Amino acid sequence: MSAAEPDPPAPAEDDNRRRSFLLLFSTLLVVGFGNTMLLALLPPLARRMGLADTSVGWIFSLSALIWVFASSFWGRMSDRKGRKPIIALGLAAYCVSMTLFALICIAGVNHWAPPAAIFVGLLLSRAIFGAIGSASSPAGQAYVADRTSPQERTEELASLGAAFALGATLGPALSGVLAAQVGPIPPLFLVAAMAATASFAIMRFLPESKTPELPLQRGKRETTWKLALDPRVSGFLLYGLGISVVTGMLQQTFTFYTMDRLKLDEATTIVYASNGLMVGALALLATQLGLLRMLKLQGRSLMVLGGAVIVCGVLLQISAETLNFLLVAQFMQGVGFGLARPGFSGGASLSVRPEEQGGLAGLTVAVNGAGFVISPLAGVTLYEAAGMHAPLWLAVGILTSMTLFAVFSRRLRATGGVSSSSPASGPEGG
């Protein structure tokens, strides 16, 4: 199957495109910044507010559940209304969500309301992020896919992921410093202010607000969900779901794991866990901006290599008894995710036509969020019920299965075979 792709840009057009991408990446890193900050701050905050450890997982889970269904909707809406307004809307909703979350945390730590009411309030504030804040990611991915050729797409989508990784690196770093100086809640207001600024910058400065002319059928809901079962992309989405589940399990239990494994108090936990999350995010960032471009591997090869590296990182975490070993484990996991995620998202994007990019981007973002629906049961609940190592062993099992799937799947061998750095004539059918 062949399809028309964007023509190679002229030098001036390429400069404009690079500036546009830089603005997009600079603003979307805010989401990664805030989410990893919450991962470091919320577990000790939850205990101070009298909430069960499992409540942390469920707060993220509801948001992720809504995200799964909303992101495909926003992908279609970006096809119909344009990428820029949908990106800006998502960032504005993120600002509202984080502001409410911070205010409810203030009420919780001061015991102005019972823990049950605080829990419901935190759930609802994060639900705003899942329902509307989810608009930014699929619209941003589709914006990039609209303006890249097949040979560029995996690397450019990886750069978009690197924007989140950079935010994820800065989030824990600043949260540890700020929490030590002013407490754990003011950093949440900082994220809200950054999201508001990013939304304004997108609306004011991001060019090319008009959606490229594409067939009208692209916005239909049935077309999007039929695409999820299409052999061209279903294998990539299945792999992405497995990686997403593991990501949620590891992220949502890491702060608890650090606290309990090293027997730390609240303040020290925030600093140590922030360092660990920062190292993992920094490794992911370096992988997507540097190592990925050096390896020049195809999507399926990236999926296999990335899955194997994550397995090694999780096994090291299981055996780690000091902070240094935990940091090395986080580094290895970051490298693995930095390879695996561009592998499945880039491979999927290369396997569909231009008019399907918005729907595909929505599905990719939905898959990335779907794991966080499952991870509270597979992660924090299992952590409490069976011990700190139980979620890690489950992660090893899932990762091993996904890696073997990437090796032997006929669907993945038949599609997404375009190198991230070599020319291609267009996506291939399965």
Structural domains of the chain, ranges and CATH numbers in brackets = 11-206+220-414 (1.20.1250.20)
The pLDDT value given to residue 170:
75
The pLDDT value given to residue 307:
95
The pLDDT value given to residue 221:
53
Mean local confidence (pLDDT), 153-160: 71
CA nearest to 384, candidates 65, 43, 40, 124: 43
Q: Which residues pair with 298 in a beta bridge?
A: 419
pLDDT at 392 over 90: yes
Euclidean distance between CA atoms 341 and 417, whole angstroms? 16
The pLDDT value given to residue 38:
85
pLDDT in tens, 270-311: 888 888 888 887 888 888 778 887 887 877 889 999 999 999
More confident: 308 or 43:
308
The pLDDT value given to residue 420:
37
Distance of CA 269 to the CA centre of its chain: 24
Confidence bin at 167 (pLDDT 50/70/90):
confident
The pLDDT value given to residue 97:
97
The pLDDT value given to residue 358:
72
Confidence bin at 9 (pLDDT 50/70/90):
low
pLDDT at 99 over 60: yes
- Paired tokens of 394: 């489950």
The pLDDT value given to residue 100:
97
The pLDDT value given to residue 377:
67
- Mean per-residue pLDDT of the chain: 81
**What DSSP state is assigned to residue 233?**
T
Secondary structure (DSSP) of 397-428: HHHHHHHHHHHH-HHHHHS---BSSS--SS--
pLDDT in tens, 355-365: 777 777 778 87
Mean local confidence (pLDDT), 100-127: 95
Q: Which residues pair with 419 in a beta bridge?
A: 298
The pLDDT value given to residue 178:
80
The pLDDT value given to residue 50:
92
More confident: 82 or 195:
195
The pLDDT value given to residue 154:
66
The pLDDT value given to residue 86:
93
Mean local confidence (pLDDT), 102-131: 95
Euclidean distance between CA atoms 118 and 62, whole angstroms? 15
Distance of CA 367 to the CA centre of its chain: 10
pLDDT in tens, 190-227: 999 999 999 999 998 888 655 554 444 444 555 666 77
Of 56-70, 239-253, 398-412, which range is least confident?
56-70
Q: What percentage of residues in the chain have a pLDDT greater than 70?
A: 85
The pLDDT value given to residue 111:
93
